[in-house]
Amino acid sequence: MDAHSTPTSPIRLGLEPPFDLGVLHITPATRQVAAGDQSQTIEPRVMQVLVLLGRAAGEVVTREELVDRCWGGVIVGENALNRVISLVRQIAATFADGSFSIETIPKIGYRLTVVSKPRPVTTPALTGSAQGPDQLATGDGREPAVPRRRVLIGGAFLAAAGAGLSGLWLANRPHRPPREAVELYKRAELAQRQGLGDQAEQAVSYYQRAVAIDPNYAAAWGGLALAQRHMFDGFGGAEATSLPPMIRSAAERALALDPDNVDAQLALILINRFYGNWAQMETAMRRLTIRYPTHWLAQGQFAMLLYEVGRWKEGIEYHRKALAIDPFLPVGHAALANALSAAGRLQEAEVVFEEGRRKWPKHPFLWITRYSHLIYTGRPAAALSFALDPDVRPTGLPEAFFSARVALAQALEAKDPQSIARVVELHRNMAEQSETSIPMIAPILALLGRPDLSLAATERYFLNTGDFGKKRMPLQKYERRYTSFLFVRPMIAISSHPTYRMILDRIGLERYWRISKHFPDFRS
C-alpha cells in the first residue's frame, strides 16, 4: 500500500490511503473497516495499529515502534498496548472472518499475516452418472477420495432408502482438519500450558489461524474460547468488557460443530468471575469435573475456586488430578505447592517445588511461589539466598522486582526496626500505586508487623473504602478480584482482627460458607 506518512513518523490517519487486508476494505481517514455489505468505525488508536501492522507486509513490528508510531512515543503501560492488539485480533477473528491474524513474537513485537481462505467444501451429487465410480471430495484435495460401489437397485423405495443411509453415513463421518490447522492447534495447546502472558497471546494467534484455515475445526474454536478467557488475567477492567463477546462467539461456534466440546463449555463458565459468585461457580465447575474427569484445566480451575474460598485441602486433591492428567503444567505445580504450604503440608510442598525446579528452573510463577513459601514459613535467610541466586532468577522481570524481595528478606533476617520500617514504606507505596499488587503485598505487610496497613489495603482492594491509597473506580462486571491470599499464613495470623472479619462478611464469603456448609480450613 502507498503510505503518505514517512516510515518513521507517527501514523496520520488522514494521510493514509484505503487498502485491503484479507476480506476487509480499510479506510483509515474515516476509521472504517468493511467486509461485504457490513462496516464499522473503530477507535483511532486501533486503526493506527492496524495500518502499521498491515503496512509491514508480514514483517515483525516491535513494541517500541508501535509506541513511537501509534502513541507518539508517549510511555504507555502493557495493558494499553495489549488492549489495542486484542481489539485488532477481535476484528481479525470476527469481522474479518479470520482472513488475517496477529502473531505475538515473544519479547519483541507482533506480525500480521494474511491467511488464505480455504475453498468451500463441495460434495458432488450422488446421481449415478456414467463417469465411473462415484467419489466424495472436499473440493481442495485435503481428504482422500472415498469410492462408493455402484449398485443397481430396482424400485424407488430401495433407492430412497439407500440415499437415506448414505446421507446418515456422511453426516456421522468425523471431521478431519487439514494438517496445517492441526499443527497450529498443537502449537497453541503447548503455548497455553505455559501460563505466561505472552504465551497466552501467542496461543490465541495460533488458534485464530487454525480456524481461519478450517472454519469447521471445533477443537480449535473451543481452544480459542478458552485461550481468550485466560487473557482476563492480564488486562484491566476496560479491556475485560470486550473479551466476553469474543469468548462467547468462539465457544458457541465450537458447540455448534461439537456439542460435547469441553473447552467451549469451560470457557463459557469461566467468563464469570469467581469473586462474589462462589456458590454458582462451584455448582457449575463440579458438574463439569464429574462429566469430564480427564480434562486437566477443568480439574485445575475447580481447585483454584476452592482455594479462593479457603478450602486448601479439598483443592489440593483436584490439583493433583490435573497434574496426573498432564504433568507438564508449570503454573499447576506452583499453585499446588502454594496450596500445600498454606495447608501446613510443608514437606509435600518442598517435593512439588523441587519437581517444578527440575522441569522449569526459571519459571516466574514457580520462583515467586517458592520465595513466598520461604518467607511465610519463617526462613528469611533461605529466601535471601534464593533471591540472590542468579542461576534461578527468571528472565524478563525488572531488577526492582528482585531488589524489593532482597530487601524484605534482609530486613526480616536482621530484625532491624529501621530496615523493617523502610521495607514497610516500600511495599505500602507499591500497593498504593497498583491495586492489583495488593494480594501479594497485604500478607507481606502483615508479616512485617503492620496488620493495620495490611487490612487497610485489603479493604481498599475489595470494598474501595477506608483511608488506604486513592479511591478506585467501582468494580466492573468482569473485572477480577482474588480472595485466596486472605487464607495464607500471615493473613490467618491476623484473622481475629475485627477488620478482617468485617471484610469477610462484606464481600459475601461468610454467607457462602454458611449456606454451603463448607467452611474454610482455618475454621475447621
Architecture of domain 284-523: Alpha Horseshoe (1.25)
Q: Would you give the distance in Å from CA 60 to the centre of its chain? A: 23
> Which pLDDT belongs to residue 116?
54
Topology of domain 183-271 in CATH is 1.25.40
Domains 183-271 and 284-523 share a fold: yes
| Closest listed residue to residue 489, CA positions, set 444, 436, 524, 453 | 444
> Which pLDDT belongs to residue 165?
42
Query: What is the β-pairing status of strands 38-41 and 32-35?
Result: antiparallel
- The residue behind cell 503454573 is 331
Mean pLDDT in runs of 10 for the chain (524 residues)?
59 88 88 85 90 90 90 74 84 81 87 65 32 33 33 36 44 79 92 78 89 94 92 61 86 96 97 94 96 95 98 97 93 96 96 93 93 96 95 86 95 94 95 90 97 96 87 74 97 97 97 96 90
Q: How many Cα atoms sit within 13 Å of 431 on the Cβ side?
A: 26
| Closest listed residue to residue 431, CA positions, set 444, 422, 413, 447 | 444
Cα-flanking dihedrals φ and ψ of residue 410, to 5°?
-65, -45
10 Å CB burial of residue 382 (0-12, 13-18, 19+) is middle
- Which CA distances in Å does 366 have to 329, 357, 371, 404, 461? 11, 8, 9, 18, 25
Q: Would you give the distance in Å from CA 191 to the centre of its chain? A: 11
Q: What pTM was computed for the model?
A: 0.71
> Which pLDDT belongs to residue 154?
37
Beta carbons within 8 Å of 24's beta carbon, 6+ residues apart:
33, 34, 35, 91, 95, 96, 99, 100
> Which pLDDT belongs to residue 51?
93
Q: What are the domain boundaries of the chain? A: 1-117, 183-271, 284-523
CA–CA gap between residue 75 and residue 73 (Å, rounded): 6
Q: Which CATH class is domain 1-117?
A: mainly alpha
How many Å is the maximal CA-CA distance in the chain? 100
